Amino acid sequence: MSPPRPAYDVVIVGGGMVGATLACALGQTPLRVALVDRQAPLIHWEDPEYDLRVSAITRASQRIFESLGVWSGMQARRVSPFREMHVWDAAGKGAIHFDCADLGEPTLGHIIENRVITAALHERLAALPVDIIAPAQLQRLAWDADYMYLEQEDGDLIAGRLMVGADGSNSWVRGQAGISVRGWDYEQHALVATVKPARFHQETAWQRFLPDGPLAFLPLENGYCSIVWSTRGEHARTLLDLPEDAFAQELEAAFDSQLGPIEWVGARAAFPLRFMRANAYVRPRLALVGDAAHTIHPLAGQGVNLGLTDAAALAEVLSEAHAARQNIGSIAVLRRYERWRNADNQAMLAAVDGFKRLFGSDLSLVRWVRNLGLNLTHTVLPIKNLLMRHAMGISGEMPKLARGIMLKP
Q: How confident is the model at residue 217, as a pLDDT?
A: 97
- Nearest-CA neighbor of 191 among 230, 157, 143, 247? 230
Instruction: Give the whole-angstrom CA distance, residue 276 versus residue 306.
Output: 13
Q: pLDDT tens, 158-216?
A: 999 999 999 999 999 999 999 999 998 888 999 999 999 999 999 999 999 898 989 99
Instruction: Give the whole-angstrom CA distance, residue 122 versus residue 396.
Output: 30
Q: Please calculate the CA angle 330-335-338 and round it to the nearest 5 degrees.
A: 135
Q: How confident is the model at residue 370, as a pLDDT?
A: 64
Q: How confident is the model at residue 180, as a pLDDT?
A: 97
Q: How confident is the model at residue 348, as a pLDDT?
A: 77
Q: How confident is the model at residue 194, as a pLDDT?
A: 97
The list of the chain residues with pLDDT below 50 reads none
Instruction: Give the whole-angstrom CA distance, residue 325 versus residue 348.
Output: 34
Residue 6: asked if its preceding bond is cis (omega within 30°), the reply is yes
Instruction: Give the whole-angstrom CA distance, residue 317 versus residue 333.
Output: 7
Q: Where are the alpha helices (DSSP H) in 208-302?
A: 233-241, 244-254
Q: How confident is the model at residue 28, as a pLDDT?
A: 94
Measured between alpha carbons, how far is residue 234 from residues 230, 231, 248, 298, 309 in Å? 12, 8, 18, 19, 34
CA within 13 Å, CB half, 372: 6
- All domains in the chain, ordered by first residue: 8-85+108-183+275-369+393-403 (3.50.50.60), 187-273 (3.30.9.10)
Q: How confident is the model at residue 55, as a pLDDT?
A: 95
State the CB neighbour count (10 A cutoff) for residue 275.
18
CA within 13 Å, CB half, 19: 31
